[in-house]
Amino acid sequence: MRVLRRGDAGPDVAEIRSTLAAMELLPPVTESGEYEVFDTAMEHAVRAFQQRRGLITDGLVGPATYQALRGAGFHLGSRPLTYMFSAPMQGDDVFALQERLTELGFDAGRPDGHFGAQTERALKTFQRDMRLVADGMCGPATIRELHRLSSPRARGGRPVFLREQEQVRQAGPRLRGKRIVIDPGHGGEDLGVVAGDLREADIAWDLARRLEGRMQATGMEALISRGPNQSPTEGDRAKFANEAGADLFLSLHNDKNPSPKAQGVASFHFGTGNGTTSTVGELLAGFIQRELAARTGMLDCRTHYKTWEIFTRTRCPAVRIEIGYLTNPEDSRKLADPAFRDVVAEGILVAVKRLYLLGEGDQPTGTFTFADVLAHELAKAE
């Protein structure tokens, strides 16, 4: 689909306006023979919706926002749900089903609003336990059982992410053997943010190679999600990580802002704001954020939860790092310096090490070095 923005008009804009009105983010749609216009009020409504859903708050209706708007029109029970391999069903009703199954102890995987094979398996197990026809179809009989067991219950689907924590604990403190996917943003014809001679795609690629070398030196298996002239979709990047069986997924980006005063580093992880959060992703984002803020002197813009596709589609804990604003003179000056990029790569590596250390032999933020990591790995090998 084409990206819709302020000033556009047509039936697709009218569809979006009707959806936003149904959510009470805009006044009711009036009868009119003319196509609706994407005006300022509609842009504000789109931004409000994006903020609620943990999407990029840009006021544009691109594929991710459109998909979320379409899915928002469904509630659990409004339609039969089933697994379709070629085109998985998506929507708020699927998300609600996944959360409900997880709360009841059935492993539906990470709640992402996509009815996949794991959701089907969990649903069939639930149906068998409830002595229903185990057909993997969430229809009226299954909905009745889900409602019957609806109270009391714990919210948030935390068991999925408790399993993440246990996997990290069992993996042990050594980095050797860990498989990390490094995802440099953009690429190919998609240059990302461009400011003067600096291009986000090039910086992300350079950072990825520096991080790859350091990780491989510790014995980790570091995989880069794209080539220097490629620009996979978010879905393809997640698929790459899933097929590789990655333990962690690290996405590298730079930011921009109309104001040259906007600056700093921020880290993002999966979370919905209602208690559903990638526990390990949140922990790793915090380690990365603290290390980079301490080592680079960049403004600490903290960690944030989001429902971006790169988070919902990866099966392993994932973090996206926005390393400075290329539209800020100070940040761009730092990022243009190869030595500074080495500092960033070391900070990310140390953060990953802290994740697996789980407090064992830890050191103050910003003081653990690449040499310390190598020494620790060597000591553990003896």
- Neighbouring-strand partners of residue 269: 305, 319
pLDDT digits (tens, 9 = 90+) for 23-50: 999 988 766 555 689 999 999 999 999 9
310, with CB counted inside 10 A (0-12, 13-18, 19+), is: buried
Query: SS in 3 state form for the chain?
Result: CCCECCCCECHHHHHHHHHHHHCCCCCCCCCCCCCCECCHHHHHHHHHHHHHHCCCCCCCECHHHHHHHHHCCCCCCCCCECCCCCCCCECHHHHHHHHHHHHCCCCCCCCCCECCHHHHHHHHHHHHHCCCCCCCCECHHHHHHHHHCCCCCCCCCHHHHHHHHHHHHHHCCCCCCCEEEEEECCECCECCCEECCEEHHHHHHHHHHHHHHHHHHCCCEEEECCCCCCCCCHHHHHHHHHHHCCCEEEEEEEECCCCCCCCCEEEEEEECCCCCECHHHHHHHHHHHHHHHHHHCCCEEEEEEECCHHHHCCCCCEEEEEEEECCCHHHHHHHCCHHHHHHHHHHHHHHHHHHHHCCCCCCCCCCCCHHHHHHHHHHHHC
At residue 136, the pLDDT reads 95
Taking phi over 0 as left and psi of -120 to 50 as alpha, with beta for the rest, 164 belongs to alpha
In this predicted structure, the answer to whether residue 75 has a pLDDT above a threshold of 50 is: yes
Q: What is the pLDDT of residue 156?
A: 45
Whole-number Å distance between alpha carbons of 356 and 169: 7
> Would you give the DSSP letter of residue 266?
E
- What is the model's pLDDT at position 154? 46
- As a whole number, mean pLDDT of residues 55-77 equals 90
Extents of the domains making up the chain: 6-71, 79-156, 172-378
Residue 153 has pLDDT above 80, yes or no: no
Same fold, 6-71 and 79-156: yes
- Where does 6-71 sit in CATH, by number? 1.10.101
- Among the listed ranges 142-146, 162-166, 177-181, which one has the minimum average pLDDT value? 162-166
Which pair of structure tokens corresponds to residue 378?
């060597």
62 versus 275: the higher-pLDDT residue is: 62
- What are the phi and psi torsion angles at 265 (to 5°)? -115, 140
Q: What is the pLDDT of residues 334-378, one digit of tens each?
A: 999 999 999 999 999 999 999 998 766 566 787 888 888 888 888
What's 79-156's CATH class? Answer: mainly alpha
Q: Which CATH number fits domain 172-378: 3.40.630.40, 3.30.70.260, 3.40.50.10860, 3.40.228.10?
A: 3.40.630.40
Of 157 and 101, the one with more pLDDT: 101
Judge whether residue 219 has pLDDT over 60.
Answer: yes
